[in-house]
């Protein structure tokens, strides 16, 4: 392990090689912190750890609906994994996202399908295990070109919230075509020209063991903010019928706008109306993109 750190250098990227609810990765310049996380991974029953090279450049999330032969890409999004503003603190399952990506190269989705998704589908089919479903690709657009960070076989939040908020083509018809192996018959997807932003409201102490059972109020007032709405994740009704928190990422507030800045303003205006004791959220979702501060 020390040899891997010496070879790859800082920043150190240490991953729990197993299910970790989106919290198994540490990216740090602190060698001691990296070693501590690595040993914590190995101390688990059947524990394994992966040491990776750090990837520079902005991250991109791409969902592809697949029918075993063909992949149809949805529009890319970007999410925010760290718990705090300016990417401070530990990784989470995602604290917010936005779409589209005004800084992305033209034709990015089509290029990633040709270079990444389609070869994966072709290889799986050649092995006798054709993939039908949603292929999630997490990438970094590095100085050496796109590099895959992860694959998953599902829709994932918070990116799904903003991508589907902009999709005008009926999702049900797209999924049915994939299930029936006829994506080649589906016309090019239609998209809203608006931008979408989602902000996650998290419980006290998340991404550690979250405090639960706190009452949630203000959701009715969110409806007064143009285009804004709430998606529930870690919520429940208690014995008296009161809406309370029941998980770490409690809810997401989604809003659209004619510009990314307008979508941000609406989303945060709605977040300010949500009352959850001890909760926290990032205040910089899509901020750099709205200011034109991201380049590839």
The residues facing 199 across adjacent strands are 96, 253
Tell me yes or no: is domain 195-290 CATH 2.10.240.10.
Answer: no
Q: Which residues of the chain have pLDDT under 70?
A: 1, 20-23
From residue 287, alpha-carbon distances to 86, 144, 290 in Å are: 10, 26, 5
CB–CB of 213/244 below 8 Å?
A: yes
Please provide the CATH number assigned to the domain covering 2-52.
3.30.1490.20
**What is the residue extent of each domain of the chain?**
2-52, 59-185, 195-290
Cα 226–chain centre separation:
24
* Fold of domain 59-185: D-amino Acid Aminotransferase; Chain A, domain 1 (3.30.470)
CB–CB of 245/255 below 8 Å?
A: no
pTM: 0.86
Q: Report helix, strand or coil for 255.
A: strand
Instruction: Tell me whether residue 29 is exposed, middle or buried, using C-beta atoms within 10 angstroms of its C-beta: 0 to 12, 13 to 18, 19 or more.
Output: exposed
Question: What's the rounded Cα separation, in Å, for the pair 232 and 23?
Answer: 20
Q: Report helix, strand or coil for 221.
A: helix
pLDDT, tens digit, for every residue of 191-227? 999 999 999 999 999 999 999 999 999 999 999 999 9
Q: What's the pLDDT score for residue 117?
A: 98
The two domains 2-52 and 195-290 share their CATH topology (first three levels equal): no
Q: What's the pLDDT score for residue 23?
A: 61
- Token readout for 268 is 């945060």
The CA radius of gyration of the chain, in Å to the nearest whole number, is: 20
Return left, alpha or beta for 2; rule: phi > 0 is left, psi -120 to 50 is alpha, else beta.
alpha
User: How many residues make up the chain in this entry?
Assistant: 296
Q: What's the pLDDT score for residue 53?
A: 81
**Cβ–Cβ contacts within 10 Å for residue 213, how many?**
11
Instruction: Tell me whether residue 94 is exposed, middle or buried, using C-beta atoms within 10 angstroms of its C-beta: 0 to 12, 13 to 18, 19 or more.
Output: buried
Q: What's the pLDDT score for residue 21?
A: 65
Buried-state track 41-75, b at ≥16 Cβ within 10 A, e below 16: beeeeeeebebeeebebbebbbbbbbbbbbbbbbb
Q: What's the pLDDT score for residue 22?
A: 62
The HSE-up count of residue 144 (CA atoms within 13 Å, CB side) is 6
- Token readout for 39 is 């040993």
Q: Report helix, strand or coil for 234.
A: coil
Q: What's the pLDDT score for residue 198?
A: 98
Q: What's the pLDDT score for residue 147?
A: 92
- Terminal CA-to-CA distance of the chain, rounded, Å? 32
């Amino acid at each position: 392990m020390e040899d891997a750190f010496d070879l790859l250098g800082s920043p150190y990227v240490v991953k729990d090689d197993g299910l970790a609810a989106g919290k198994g990765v540490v990216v740090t310049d602190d060698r001691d912190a990296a070693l501590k996380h690595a040993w914590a991974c190995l101390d688990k029953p059947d524990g394994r750890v992966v040491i990776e090279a750090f990837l520079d450049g902005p991250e991109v999330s791409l969902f592809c609906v697949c029918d075993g032969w063909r992949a149809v890409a949805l529009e890319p999004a970007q999410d925010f994994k760290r718990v705090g503003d300016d990417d401070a603190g530990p990784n989470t399952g995602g604290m917010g996202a936005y779409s589209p990506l005004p800084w992305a190269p033209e034709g990015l989705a089509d290029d990633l399908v040709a270079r990444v998704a389609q070869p994966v589908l072709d290889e799986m089919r050649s092995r006798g295990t054709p993939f039908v479903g949603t292929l999630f690709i997490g990438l970094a657009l590095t100085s050496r070109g796109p590099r895959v960070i992860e694959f998953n076989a599902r829709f994932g939040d918070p990116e799904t919230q903003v991508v589907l908020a902009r999709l005008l083509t009926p999702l049900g018809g797209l999924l049915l075509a994939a299930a029936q192996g006829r994506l080649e018959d589906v016309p090019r997807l239609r998209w809203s020209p608006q931008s979408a932003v989602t902000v996650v409201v998290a419980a006290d102490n998340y991404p550690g063991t979250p405090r639960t059972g706190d009452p949630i109020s203000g959701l009715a007032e969110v409806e007064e903010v143009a285009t804004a709405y709430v998606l529930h994740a870690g919520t429940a009704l208690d014995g008296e019928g009161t809406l309370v928190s029941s998980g770490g990422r409690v809810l997401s507030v989604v809003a659209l706008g004619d510009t990314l800045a307008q979508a941000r303003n609406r989303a945060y205006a709605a977040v300010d109306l949500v009352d959850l004791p001890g909760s926290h959220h990032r205040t910089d979702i899509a901020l750099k993109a709205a200011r034109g501060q991201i380049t590839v």
